[in-house]
Amino acid sequence: MRRLIFFRHGKAEITAVSGGDKERPLAERGRVECRLAAAWLLAAGFVPDIVLVSSALRTQRTWDCVRETFPAAPAEIHDELYLAGAEVIMDLIEAIPGDVETVMVLGHNPGLQDLSVSLAADGDAPELQIHRVEEGFPTAGVVVFRRNDAGPMRLEAVYEPPRTLGGPPRWTFLDPDAGVRG
């Protein structure tokens, strides 16, 4: 695997009809933000070969929105990803065959954020970028890592959706050494 994309589910409704957290649907704002994030990924050249999706309703509906941009990427639904910690997420990633170039994980916090901070620190990301990832991983936020050789994953990009719909992204970063443009 050369690239790893962490995509947090879009903004969800506060409650579900059933009352359960796992059944909370995606809010309209979440659908819009997910489509914006997917368009940003595509424009930056970050196209998943496979997508691992949490079994929660909000992550599955996020995938429904993102799939419009990446229709060729197969998705696997994993119960283990629902509110998974960093170790569980990494175990699922490591189970992917080695010939898969780009893996996207569509999941939840705090697991995605914890794993992002750990990988950024292990990959010697600048302190400012590590701090930015530590500050938060908003809904429909994306963090991208890349491995150029057998070394650690390096932080390649971060995307956060706009605070107000129609506005600019809150924060983006693209590693100039990676040769991508956003």
Give the CATH number, domain containing residue 115: 3.40.50.1240
Distance CA 98, CA 64 (A): 26
What one-letter code names the amino acid at 177? D
- Domain span at residue 21? 3-177
| Number of domains making up the chain | 1
Residue 175 binned pLDDT confidence (cut-offs 50, 70, 90): low
* Averaged pLDDT of the chain: 90
> Which pTM was predicted?
0.92
Q: pLDDT, tens digit, for every residue of 130-157?
A: 888 898 899 999 999 998 877 889 999 9
For the cut 80, the answer to whether the pLDDT of residue 67 exceeds it is yes
Residue 107 lies in a domain: yes
Residue 182 lies in a domain: no
Residue 128 lies in a domain: yes
Distance CA 81, CA 76 (A): 11
What one-letter code names the amino acid at 61? R
7 - beta bridge partners? Answer: 106, 142
CA-closest candidate to residue 105, choices 87, 123, 92: 92
| For residues 154-174, average pLDDT | 78
Residue 65 lies in a domain: yes
Q: CB of 82 within 8 A of CB of 56? A: yes
Residue 101 lies in a domain: yes
Distance CA 114, CA 43 (A): 26
Residue 33 lies in a domain: yes
pLDDT of residue 17: 78
Q: pLDDT, tens digit, for every residue of 79-123?
A: 999 999 999 999 999 999 989 999 999 999 999 999 999 999 999
Residue 60 lies in a domain: yes
pLDDT of residue 176: 55
